[in-house]
Amino acid sequence: MNLIINGEEKNFQEGISLQEIITSLKIEDKVMAAAVNMEIVKKNEWTNYKPENDDKLELLQFVGGG
């Protein structure tokens, strides 16, 4: 399955959950919010949410600054 994650094309097995994607990218402690095709997916839904082929994921982290 082909996904676009933060503008970069990546391949994953069919049926993988959003949480499994985040874990496989080793960014689970950095991601604070996720959107699929511009729709926010709540963190408590990541385990059950399964992206589809060619979905666009934005995995966001918050940084301080000023």
Going residue by residue through the chain (66 aa), what tens digit of pLDDT does each one get? 999 999 999 999 999 999 999 999 999 999 999 999 999 999 999 999 999 999 999 999 877 776
pLDDT, residue 65, reads 74
pTM: 0.89
* 3-state secondary structure (DSSP) of residue 33: strand
Residue 66 lies in a domain: no
Residue 57 lies in a domain: no
Number of domains present in the structure of the chain: 1
Residue 24 lies in a domain: yes
pLDDT, residue 66, reads 64
Residue 53 lies in a domain: no
Q: Domain of 21?
A: 1-41
Query: Token pair 């994650």 is at which residue?
Result: 5
Report phi then psi at 59, rounded to 5.
-105, 115
Residue 18 lies in a domain: yes
Residue 59 lies in a domain: no
pLDDT, residue 62, reads 77
pLDDT, residue 45, reads 97
